[in-house]
Amino acid sequence: MTRLENVGAENAIRLFINHKFAAATQAWEEIEDPYQKVNTFIKLMEFVIPKRRSVDFKPEAGPENSLEARLSKMMKEHNAVNNNADEKSSL
């Protein structure tokens, strides 16, 4: 399926959902079990707000690439910039 065909399919699905929104809302309002109502709401929200994806942390070789080393380097650079700014402002 090409990108253009995907766009056409997405638009068709969007139109279908828009036309059936009132019926879906009415059906959702008729759910009596609070658990089922919340569960249905959560499943519907997945179409609006995607699920979070997991992130894999892969360690890099070498001690200079450790998180601690990177943070230390960033702090030193930040302090150097601040010290330079302080020196210039006192002149």
What is the predicted pLDDT for the residue at 63? 65
pLDDT digits (tens, 9 = 90+) for 20-39: 989 988 998 999 999 999 98
User: Confidence class of residue 62 from pLDDT cuts 50, 70 and 90?
Assistant: low
- pLDDT category of residue 41 using cuts at 50, 70 and 90: confident
Mean pLDDT of 75-91: 74
Residue 4 has pLDDT above 60, yes or no: no
Q: What is the pTM of this model?
A: 0.40
Write down the mean pLDDT value for the chain. 78
Q: Which residues contact 54 (CB under 8 A, 6 or more apart)?
A: none
Instruction: Specify burial of residue 58 (Cβ count, 10 A radius: 0-12, 13-18, 19+).
Output: exposed
What pLDDT is attached to residue 55? Answer: 64
pLDDT of residue 90: 63
